[in-house]
Structure 1
Amino acid sequence: MKEALLRSCVSAVIFCGITNPLVAGESLGPLRACPENPRYFAGPDGRAILLTGSHTWNNLQDIGVGDPPPEFPFEAYLDLLKRCDHNFIRLWRFEMTRWDSAKKPTQTWTDRKALYSIAPHPWKRTGPALARDGLPKFDLSRLDPEYFDRLRERVASAEKRGLYVSVMLFEGFGVWALADGWETHPFHADNNVNGINGDLNGDQKGQETHQLLAPEVLRLQEAYVRRVVDAVGDYDNVLYEIANESRAESYEWQAHLVRFIQELEQTRGKAHPVGMTFLMGPQDQWLKSDEKLLTGPADWISPSRNALDGFSYRTSPPPATGAKVILADTDHFFGVGGSADWAWKSMTRGHNPIFMDPFRNEVLGRAAPETWEPLRKSLGQLRQGSLRLNLNKAVPHGELASTGYCLASPSSGEYIVYVPAGRDVSIDLTRAPKRLVATWIDPIEGLKNLQQPVEGGRTLPLTAPFDGPAVLQINPAP
């Protein structure tokens, strides 16, 4: 068949009509690293699953102006995720009780200047003396059921919608980076009735609470983590994250807690993946910190934006090797940022892309909320693409596509190729079966589903039938 015919023989089809045994929805169950393709987790049926979705700061604790802060519309948030066909959220937990955004004028996540309250927290506020935020001091010997009931309810609601949930246990950025982050922390000596002082060196940062320096602090943290596992460990859709953007000095403390959870769950008969994310510090040390994450005890990681060999997680992600499951998170690459282009580049390089979403701009965000709709939609589109190939066998094969963005299992005749600019792409199908079908997909809307037969066993030039970025999916012909 002539190349011109191959490029022009297009007809409209329904994308979900592609013949593939893996089109059916995922089975929700405890995740484990996929033995065949450890770039991904696998469900109880052994099938690899691409995790992708949006997360926002106040999706567990309420954050806002006033005390108590306004209640977060969790069900409406889940509605948005399902409308966009996401399957993953990161459930945030902040450690401080107040955040004055006016005290950090160089911040990149919001233009608002306000005093935010954050609640609830894991420990009861019994007083009678008052903490620095004007509310009763914490009793760190008494965990607060309100916090853990809410956590359990939100994990349960997400499970009903088919969403995996990463439960954030600690949060480092707010403690060390915000001007008043330590001032209202429960482990500040002025904020608890137990005589606990987590700021051992008196620098008003409290970073020692994320290190193995204070045995009495670690005991309290372990008791809290144990209670979290009690609350949600029986759910199948759970992952754990030790801490968001804690300092590089926290590595041993985080590794200890990874092992603590892993050992705890061995006694309970159900294990969940435990992750470690970007270790903050001087930028010239980020790659070294990322290497520690890759070789450490965590089941999954989220690295910094830096990468070796000319790659960048922002613009041209490195191909995932399978050393760890990588959740590529815009939070650690842009702050508030990312695009559909970034999402597809990440997916075709073997990563699991997730987006820190301003949602309604109540806490995060400068641009109008609808600005992020293309990125939200693209995450759903790439998840659908992942369901239409055998992800257990698909690995990054940038050398097979002229664009450099290709996730493929050549011997199975399955390819996803991202074409970021222009309409033309050359793809090496020399190891593929003879009879194939190519489907062109709009990377955001998924509406221009145009199909054409292609022949394996050679390298083919193909042209997208529409302008703008495009996704080319190739599967064996029915």
Structure 2
Amino acid sequence: MDLKVLNLAGWFFSVCLFFSCSSSSQKGEFLSVHPDNPHYFMFRGKPVILTGSTEHYGAVLNLDFDYVKYFDELAARGLNVTRTFSGIYVEPKGAFGIRGNTLAPDSGRFICPWARSNEPGYAAGGNKFDLNSWNPEYFSRLKDFVAEAAKRDIVVELDLFSNFYDTLQWKLSPLHYSNNVNGTPKVTDHREVLSLKHPELLEIQEMMVRKIVEELRDFGNLYYEICNEPYFGDTLALRQWEDHMTRIVVDAEKDMEPRHLISHNVANLKKKVSQPREGVSVYNFHYAAPPVAVGMNYHLDFPIGDNETGFNGTDDETYRKEAWNFILAGGALFNHLDYSFTVGAEDGTFAVQKDQPGGGGRALRDQLGILAGFMKQLDFIDMKPVPDGVARIIGQEKVSVRGLSDDRRTMVFYLDGNETPGTSALLEINLPAGSHRFTWVNTTTGGQTVNEIRGHQGGWLMLNSPLYMTDIALRIN
């Protein structure tokens, strides 16, 4: 055999093997749906539940926000997901009664995918935008944001779009005809912006999506949500547009390997999705308390998330309970909207006032970290929601119980409520025969109480919990 041919063949094989191994290794680093249990994620080769407490989505588009300090705080609390907006949507000062709103940058401090022109007149200060010119500073900041998150094992949910709730937000968008030098259509009805009605606007949106997807192609700690809350306004037009934009992302990544997950924000509270949507792997809900959205959509065999909280007061208890209930119902993602993160308080020390639309603060983040640590100790990839009839509370009608089980070898339960705070609850569980170890977890401090029962004959077993105020968790091994 010709030695040159042999050497060439060997070289070719080595190159193919290198790229094959490289691609396989990279795929393992990317956030994906877990192959053994599609209700959960896999990230960097391990099963993961995403738990977060996120600033109000302006960390990238607001030049004054120090996201490194912000990520340090999330990581210190054991949290692993954040949510941010692309910059096509921005809010005015005072929107929704939010103090220190990161989505409302100071004049001249808003950055987005498009470069500024030489012509003054942008509604929120500074020059208008040139939609024919990308802004390299923006993409540098966006990539650094995702890279800094990756260093701390934090996953980024990037919302490519957000619903324009009224003309106030639309009039601040770079796409609004008064804010750019490109002569975009004079659309006065904000409900028509995210639709298929205006081809010129649609083309600009498509180009932005393709540009972002290309710039972020190598980041594994990332998934895309097409649009935040696309269910206000002309809902039929929004659904058609959302499906169209989903196809744009899919097409933009068709030659990429691996590819990023795509999320749809389905509804506030709950809604049944009858069958999986093409190209969609994550189904997110807002304010999903009680967590009925999980059970309604468990048949989809994809991760279900609760990726925004709020409009239910500012008490830590409210959002701690929402988190535990959602994850113990079988949810894969919980992300609290945390108003204690502001410019100048990127460590989350801004004091949230009672008139804010939601809560936040270090105490709550610590409590969410307890939940994250509780789940991390479990082999949850083998778990599924415990069916009715396995556990019940005796004597307290207002206390609920829900849990997960891996064929009853390991079971976890969450007790929500206590009609007499500071007392114990009576929990009855149908357990298999054998010895069992019970670990009760204080959801506010992380403190544990452990006891064991040996030689259980099988069937119903009565347990007295430790004293607790409003909620408590239990792990049974």
- Tell me the TM-score range normalised by the shorter chain: 0.7 to 0.9
Alignment partner, residue 274 of structure 1: 262
Work out the CA distance in 2 between the residues paired with 1:100 and 1:84.
30
The structural deviation recorded for 1:462 is: 1.5
Q: Which residue does the alignment assign to 1:7?
A: none
Q: Residue 157 of structure 1 is aligned with which of 124, 137, 148? A: 148
Alignment-mate amino acid for residue 394 of structure 1: M
Amino acid at match of 1:176: Y
Shift of residue 444 of structure 1?
2.3
1:54 equivalenced with 2:45 (yes/no): no
Alignment match, 2:19 = none
Structure 1 pair 371–355 and aligned structure 2 pair: CA distance change class (3 A): closer
> What CA distance in whole angstroms lies between the structure 1 residues aligned with 2:195 and 2:366?
39
Q: Deviations over 1:260-319 (max 9, x none)?
A: 222322301111111111458xxxxx866x5379645421122254xxxxxxx3245454
Aligned to 1:402: 392
Aligned mates of 1:92, 1:442 — CA distance in 2: 35
CA apart distance, 1:231? 2.1
- 1:14 is aligned to none
How many Å apart are 1:239 and its aligned residue?
0.7
- Residues in 2 aligned to 1:142 and 1:376: alpha-carbon distance in whole angstroms: 40
Q: Which letter does structure 2 place at the counterpart of 1:57?
A: H
Does 2:198 match 1:196? no
Gaps spanning 5+ residues in structure 2: where? Answer: 1-26, 394-399, 419-423
In the other structure, the counterpart of 1:461 is: 462
Q: Which residue does the alignment assign to 1:18?
A: none
Equivalent residue number for residue 184 of structure 1: 172
Corresponding position of 1:344: 324
Which range moved further: 459-468 or 357-366? 357-366
Would you say the 8 A contact 2:87–2:113 is kept in 1? no
Corresponding letter in the other structure for 1:159: A
| 1:236–1:230 Cα change, 3 Å | same
Q: Contact conserved, 1:82 with 1:161, CA < 8 A, in 2?
A: yes
SS of 1:85's partner is coil
> In structure 2, what is the equivalent of residue 471 of structure 1?
473
Give, as a single letter, the amino acid of the residue that structure 1 aligns with 2:50: L
Q: Percent same amino acid among aligned pairs?
A: 24
- Structure 1 counterpart of 2:415, from 419, 433, 436: 419
- The Cα of 1:52 is off from its aligned counterpart by 0.9
Aligned to 1:90: 83
Normalising by the residue count of structure 2, what TM-score does the alignment of the two structures yield?
0.78
SS in 2 for 1:339: helix
Distance, in Å, in 1 between the alignment partners of 2:433 and 2:87 is: 52
Match of 1:21 in 2: none
Judged with a 3 Å threshold, the aligned counterparts in structure 2 of structure 1 residues 132 and 110 are, in CA distance, closer, same or farther, namely: closer
Provide the residue aligned with 1:238 in structure 2: 222
Counterpart residue type for residue 219 of structure 2: Y
Distance change (3 Å), C-alpha of 1:165 and 1:115: closer
Moved more, 263-272 or 408-417: 408-417
CA distance in 1, matches of 2:50, 2:433: 29
- TM-score normalised over the length of structure 1: 0.77
1:210, CA displacement in angstroms?
1.0
Return the offset for 1:180.
2.0
**What amino acid is aligned across from residue 218 of structure 1 in structure 2?**
L
Structure 1 319/230 Cα, relative in aligned 2: closer, same or farther at 3 Å?
Answer: closer
Match of 2:24 in 1: none
User: Which residue does the alignment assign to 2:158?
Assistant: 167
Corresponding residue for 1:15?
Answer: none
1:378 pairs with 2:378: no
SS at match of 2:169: coil
Q: Which moved more, 1:293-302 or 1:221-230?
A: 293-302
| Matched residue, 1:355 | 336
Higher mean C-alpha displacement, 131-140 vs 330-339: 330-339
Q: 1:44 and 1:412, CA in 2 relative to 1: closer, same or farther beyond 3 A?
A: farther
Asked if residue 37 in structure 1 is aligned to residue 37 in structure 2, the reply is: yes
Asked if residue 225 in structure 1 is aligned to residue 221 in structure 2, the reply is no
Residues 37 and 322 of structure 1 are in contact (CA less than 8 Å); yes or no, is this contact kept in structure 2?
no
Distance, in Å, in 2 between the alignment partners of 1:99 and 1:394 is 44
Give SS of 2:335's match.
strand
Residue 8 of structure 1 aligns with which residue? Answer: none
Query: Where does residue 303 of structure 1 map in the other structure?
Result: 285
Q: Is 1:261 the counterpart of 2:239 in the alignment?
A: no
Counterparts of 1:73-84 in structure 2 under 5 Å? 73-84=66-77
Report the equivalent of 2:194.
210
User: Contact 1:108–1:335 at 8 Å: present in 2 too?
Assistant: no
Q: Secondary structure at the match of 1:176?
A: coil
Match of 1:366 in 2: 353
Distance 1:421-1:136 versus aligned 2 partners, 3 A rule: closer
Distance 1:458 1:333, change over 3 A: farther
Distance (whole Å) between structure 1 residues aligned to residue 314 and residue 61 of structure 2 = 19
What 5-or-longer segments of structure 1 have no aligned partner?
1-26, 64-68, 281-285, 306-312
Deviations 1:377-412 (A, max 9, x none): 222112212122222221111522225533322435
Structure 1 residue 357: Cα displacement: 0.5
2:4 corresponds in structure 1 to none
Equivalents in 1 of 2:368, 2:433: separation in Å?
29
Structure 2: which amino acid aligns with 1:95?
I
Distance 1:134 1:264, change over 3 A: closer
Give the aligned residue type for 1:32.
S
Residue 14 of structure 2 is matched in structure 1 by none
Which AA in structure 1 matches 2:412? Answer: I
- Higher alpha-carbon deviation: 244-253 or 91-100: 91-100
Root-mean-square deviation (Å)? 3.1
Aligned counterparts of 1:223 and 1:462: Cα–Cα separation in 2 = 59
Query: Which residue identity lines up with residue 309 of structure 2 in the other structure?
Result: D
Would you say the 8 A contact 1:56–1:92 is kept in 2? no
Relative distance call for 1:461 and 1:224 in structure 2 (3 A) is same
Distance 1:291 1:110, change over 3 A: farther
2:310·2:359 contact (CA, 8 Å) conserved in 1? no
Matches of 1:410 and 1:376 in 2, distance apart? 28
CA drift at 1:86: 0.6
1:314 partner amino acid? A
